[in-house]
Each structure stands twice: as structure tokens, then as C-alpha cells.
């Protein structure tokens, strides 16, 4: 019995029920949130969360650093490869050509003006395409390698000269419009030199030169610009042509004038008469001349026609159906390169490739 009483007494002592005074103490120890203590409690909660956020932020920062380092390394590697491939080894593959379209690597310098490498590759690549795809050249032959070495020099001279032509054009306020480019293409199409439609034209350009239509328009724009610069600066030839036309208008004999002033050697004996019948698609005469001829009536004389490389005056002698007989007086324009070579800066060109 004593043992039972003792256990009962111990059970009361171990009972989970707390005295009332202990409950009051516990409630007093709970934090009280008031308007004054909201900020401090919020900071305490956030402080506990930051220990989980900071590792995530650190990992993201590290990923950004590693990615940036990889991108920079790749760009530096690409730059080094491109410089070596272009300037040391003279490569001209499609990948490098695309790189030069983005990065303006210089191929030459004249004073403070740089000539872009992309212009040089544009000229060189269409030459190589023609020889490799149209002439079935043996690319491993010594003859082809020698031709390529020579044309590299030609292509470099061409792009340097064109840079100076653009400078002359700017000084003399000479420009080429989209309309002029499109008209030139249409003239060539009328003579069936470029195919009858745009799809045919694109096929011809791709097969022969590896060009798109935009590439061809770019090349044509450069040619027209050089022609217009020459016409602008070759004032002596322009005056000679206009004076000759004035003499014709006042009654001078066309044939005798052709014998006297034409730059066509055959005119000395033929009086400027073409020795063949001409139709609108005739490829033996410039397309500008063909268009002018078929706008004339028999015995009429044209205005001065600028073909780009010559100034011409034509007379329609006879017309039969779709063919005509005609005569012409020719004045050779100076090449724009003659004006470029006269520029002092042309002698100070520094090339960055061999």
C-alpha cells in the first residue's frame, strides 16, 4: 500500500498539466507586435530568409561571369583567327567573307581613308567563281595559281581606285540613283544580255559570278558612278561632242564630220556608217545607242548619247521593219582611273596584304 501511495504521489508531480502561474509567464514571454515594432520584426524575418537567397544570387552572378568570359574568349579567338587567315594566309572562304561584312577589316589605307577588306573579297570571289565554274579551270595547275596571284593584285587595285572614285564623286557632287541602276538593267535586258526575266537574271548571275541580284546592282552602281565621274571631269571631250552636234544642227555634213572628228578609226573611210543592219537586240552596239536609234525617224540625228565609255551622235539613215541602217560619230571619254592616278593621294597608298 505504501508503494501505491508513493507512485500516486509521483504521478501527480509528473502530470503534464502546468500550473496557472507558468502559463502566465509563457504568455508574457511572447513578442508583442505593435505599430512601433513592425519594422524590426519584418527585418528579423527577412534576415532569416537571406541565408537562403544569398547562395542563389551568388550562383547566378557566377554563371553570368563564366558566360561572359566564354563569349569574350570566343570573340577574341575569332578575331585572332580572322586576322591570321586574312592577312597572313590570304584566305577568302565564305565564312571569312561574312566576317568582313560585319567587322570592317582594312585592306589598304590612303592618308586617313581605309579601304575595307570586304570590297576586295567581293571582287576577288566573283573572279574565282567564274574561272572555277565556267572555264573548268584546273585549280591545282600552276597556270591557275599564277592567274590568281595576278588577279589578286588587279582586284586590290580596283577597290583602291573605286575608293578614290567615290572621293572624286563626293567632291564633284556626283551620285547614282536607284532609277539609273534599274534603267541600265532594263537596257541590258532589252538586248537580252541578262535574260528575259528576273528569275533568269538571278540564275545567270549565280552561275557565272556567284552573285545575287543585290550584288549585281552593287557592281553596276560602281560602274555607273565611275562613268559619271569621268563624264563630269572630262570637260574637253564633252565640249568636243556638243560642238560637233551644234555644227550638225546648223547644216554641216554628218559624214564629213565623222571622218574629221570621230574617234572610231573606221570612220575615216566609212564616214561613220555601221557596216551592218541593226535591230533592238543587237549586241554590237551599246544599248543606249540602240534605244536612241529606234526613237528616230529616217535622216534624224540624236542628241549626244553617253554610253558610259563614249559619247556618241547617231543618225538614222534607213528603217525597214524591225531593222535600221545608221551612222555614228564617236568620242572616247577618259577612264575615271586617269583622274584617280592624277590625285596626289593615289601615290601614298599603303596595302596591308601582299
140-188: pLDDT as tens digits: 788 888 888 899 999 999 999 999 999 999 999 999 999 999 998 888 8
The predicted pLDDT at position 33 comes to: 57
Report how far residue 305's alpha carbon sits from residue 323's, in angstroms, rounded to the nearest whole number: 20
Instruction: Determine the pLDDT at residue 34.
Output: 62
pLDDT at 123: 93
Give the pLDDT of residue 17.
46
Q: Report the alpha-carbon distance of residue 149 to residue 154 in Å, rounded.
A: 9
Report the distance separating Cα 63 and Cα 57, nearest Å: 10
Q: How much is the pLDDT for 281?
A: 79
Sheet containing strand 305-306, strands side by side = 305-306, 310-320, 323-332
331/333 Cα distance (integer angstroms): 6
Q: What is the pLDDT of residue 51?
A: 58
pLDDT at 15: 47
d(CA 181, CA 223): 10
pLDDT at 193: 65
CATH number of 235-333: 3.10.50
- CATH architecture of the domain with range 104-233: Orthogonal Bundle (1.10)
Residues of the chain with pLDDT under 50: 1-5, 7-8, 11-12, 14-18, 20, 24-26
pLDDT at position 321: 80
Cα distance between residue 341 and residue 161, in whole Å: 8
Output the pLDDT for position 2.
Answer: 47
Cβ-count burial of 271 within 10 angstroms (0-12 exposed, 13-18 middle, 19+ buried)? Answer: middle
Q: What integer pLDDT is reported at residue 14 of this predicted model?
A: 46
Q: What integer pLDDT is reported at residue 189 of this predicted model?
A: 79
Amino acid at each position: 500500500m505504501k508503494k501505491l501511495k508513493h507512485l500516486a504521489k509521483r504521478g501527480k508531480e509528473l502530470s503534464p498539466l502546468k500550473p496557472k502561474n507558468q502559463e502566465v509567464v509563457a504568455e508574457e514571454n511572447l513578442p508583442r507586435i505593435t505599430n512601433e515594432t513592425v519594422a524590426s520584426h519584418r527585418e528579423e524575418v527577412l534576415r532569416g530568409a537571406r541565408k537562403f537567397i544569398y547562395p542563389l544570387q551568388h550562383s547566378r552572378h557566377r554563371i553570368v561571369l563564366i558566360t561572359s568570359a566564354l563569349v569574350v574568349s570566343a570573340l577574341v579567338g575569332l578575331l585572332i583567327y580572322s586576322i591570321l587567315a586574312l592577312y597572313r594566309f590570304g584566305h577568302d572562304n565564305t565564312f571569312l567573307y561574312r566576317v568582313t561584312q560585319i567587322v570592317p577589316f582594312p585592306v589598304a589605307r590612303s592618308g586617313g581613308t581605309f579601304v575595307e577588306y570586304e570590297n576586295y573579297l567581293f571582287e576577288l570571289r566573283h573572279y574565282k567563281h567564274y574561272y572555277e565554274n565556267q572555264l573548268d579551270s584546273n585549280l591545282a595547275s600552276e597556270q591557275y595559281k599564277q592567274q590568281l596571284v595576278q588577279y589578286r593584285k588587279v582586284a586590290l587595285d580596283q577597290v583602291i581606285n573605286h575608293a578614290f572614285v567615290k572621293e572624286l564623286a563626293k567632291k564633284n557632287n556626283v551620285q547614282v540613283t536607284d532609277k539609273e541602276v534599274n534603267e541600265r538593267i532594263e537596257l541590258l535586258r532589252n538586248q537580252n544580255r541578262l535574260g528575259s526575266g528576273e528569275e533568269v537574271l538571278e540564275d545567270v548571275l549565280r552561275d557565272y559570278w556567284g552573285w545575287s541580284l543585290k550584288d549585281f546592282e552593287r557592281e553596276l552602281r560602281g560602274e555607273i558612278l565611275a562613268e559619271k565621274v569621268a563624264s563630269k571631269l572630262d570637260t574637253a571631250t564633252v565640249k568636243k561632242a556638243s560642238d560637233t552636234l551644234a555644227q550638225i544642227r546648223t547644216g554641216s555634213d554628218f559624214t564629213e564630220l565623222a571622218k574629221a572628228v570621230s574617234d572610231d578609226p573606221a570612220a575615216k573611210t566609212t564616214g561613220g556608217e555601221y557596216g551592218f543592219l541593226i535591230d533592238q537586240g543587237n549586241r554590237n552596239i551599246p544599248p543606249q545607242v540602240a534605244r536612241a536609234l529606234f526613237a528616230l525617224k529616217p535622216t534624224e540625228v540624236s542628241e549626244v548619247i553617253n554610253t558610259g565609255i563614249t559619247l556618241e551622235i547617231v543618225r538614222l539613215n534607213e528603217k525597214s521593219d524591225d531593222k535600221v541602217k545608221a551612222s555614228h560619230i564617236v568620242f572616247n571619254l577618259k577612264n575615271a582611273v586617269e583622274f584617280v592616278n592624277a590625285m596626289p593621294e593615289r601615290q601614298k597608298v599603303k596595302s596591308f596584304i601582299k
